[in-house]
Amino acid sequence: MVEPNVTDVKKYFIDLQSNICDELGAIDGKDFVIEELNTLTGGSSKPRVLEDGEYLEKAAVNFTHSIGSSLPKAASARNPGLQGKSFEAVAISVIVHPKNPYVPTFHANLRFFLVDKDYWHFGGGFDLTPYYPFPDDVLHWHCTAAKACLPFGPDLYSKLKTWCDDYFYLQHREEPRGVGGIFFDDWHKTSFESSFAFVRSVGDHVLPAYLPIIQRRKDLPFGSKEEEFMLYRRGRYAEFNLAIDRGTKYGLQSGRRIESVLASMPPRAIWKYDWKPQSGSAEARLYEDYLRPRDWIAELT
């Protein structure tokens, strides 16, 4: 039996970060910048960002290793006795804002939090935010998510898909952020070994879920109307990240390096007062056909 440990998870996250940056960089033709930053408490971070690429307007693949001397109250709700204990956390977050409006914005995150052999958990998932969706892409995305979950239980995908729909929701707009994916938090099942195996499965499916979509759509011709709609919809992304996302809120409040926390922000965004898509347009179809909870796999196959 493997004891819960940060070392193994860290190694997996760092390798995953390299793979993701290599593959995305190869598609784009531009490399991700490499930085290594140390924190005063002995932690470290490796933010890797690519801006103004050929296909990627902005992509950030960040790794963080946090070491804390006193477990925050918010993190110890499940076990209040541990409050004030030292802890460690490692996390990888991925965000891709493509240039082409036919390529969806993509987000993935995996995290591990350890106090001792009894108090630890994983969290994470991946979700997709298209502007001009193709049913094939959404189906591929959700099938890949389902594949990542299948070895860990027949109902797991469905549970994490609903969790994702619930989390990535803009209450103030009564709108989902996109077409979802999978999401899990406070994940502590059976053993560290089996939980970590599940998290690796999710991580291993991040690139297979996204790469075929960007490959298929990155060279589609588009005009200023499509670009403007993408920028308008990116406003929703900014609203979600700044006003709703718990990870960003925690980052803003906890004094983490702000440029890493906000590396997920869209490179450009616009807001138009009371704008609505024209009835029957491709833009209206996004709202009508995609921005509502659907059982994608059952409905699209």
The number of angstroms, rounded, from the C-alpha of 10 to the middle of its chain's C-alpha atoms is 18
The residue (of 2 and 33) whose beta carbon lies closer to a second copy is 33
Here's the x/- map for a second copy, 165-184, by CB under 8 A: it reads as ------xxx-----------
Q: Which stretch binds a second copy (CB under 8 A): 137-145, 154-162, 178-186, 257-265?
A: 257-265
Q: Which stretch binds a second copy (CB under 8 A): 98-106, 127-135, 136-144, 259-267?
A: 259-267
Q: Does 238 bind a second copy (CB under 8 A)?
A: yes
The residue (of 9 and 263) whose beta carbon lies closer to a second copy is 263
Q: Are strands 44-51 and 37-38 parallel, antiparallel or unpaired?
A: antiparallel
CB-CB neighbours of 117 under 10 Å: 10
The number of angstroms, rounded, from the C-alpha of 217 to the middle of its chain's C-alpha atoms is 20
Side chain identity at residue 264, one-letter code: S
Q: Calculate the dihedral angle through the C-alpha atoms of 104, 124, 243, 257, rounding to the nearest 10 degrees.
A: -100
DSSP secondary structure, 189-225, as one string = -S-HHHHHHHHHHHHHTHHHHHHHHHHHHTT----HH
The residue (of 11 and 268) whose beta carbon lies closer to a second copy is 268
Q: Is 231:269 a contact under the CB 8 Å cutoff?
A: yes
Q: Does 263 bind a second copy (CB under 8 A)?
A: yes
Give least dist CB 167 to a second copy, A: 17
Q: Is 193:1 a contact under the CB 8 Å cutoff?
A: yes
Q: Helix (H, G, I), strand (E, B), or coil: what is residue 53? A: coil
The number of angstroms, rounded, from the C-alpha of 289 to the middle of its chain's C-alpha atoms is 22
Q: Is 117:72 a contact under the CB 8 Å cutoff?
A: no
Judged by CB under 8 A, the residue of 73, 117, 268, 292 near a second copy is: 268
Using CB under 8 A as the binding rule, the residues of this chain from 40 to 59 that contact a second copy are 47, 49, 51, 58
The residue (of 127 and 239) whose beta carbon lies closer to a second copy is 239
User: Residue 35 half-sphere exposure, CB side, CA atoms within 13 Å?
Assistant: 16
Give least dist CB 205 to a second copy, A: 27
Rg for the chain, CA atoms, rounded = 19
**Any idea which residue has 């001397």 for tokens?**
69
The residue (of 78 and 172) whose beta carbon lies closer to a second copy is 172
Q: Does 252 bind a second copy (CB under 8 A)?
A: yes
Q: Does 73 bind a second copy (CB under 8 A)?
A: no
Q: Does 277 bind a second copy (CB under 8 A)?
A: no
- Catalytic positions, written as ranges: 107
The tokens describing 109, both together, are: 């995150």
Total of residues contacting a second copy (CB under 8 A): 35
Q: Does 34 bind a second copy (CB under 8 A)?
A: no
Q: Does 261 bind a second copy (CB under 8 A)?
A: yes
Residues that bind a second copy (CB under 8 A): 47, 49, 51, 58, 60, 171-173, 231, 235, 238-239, 242-243, 248-249, 251-253, 255, 258-259, 261-263, 265-274
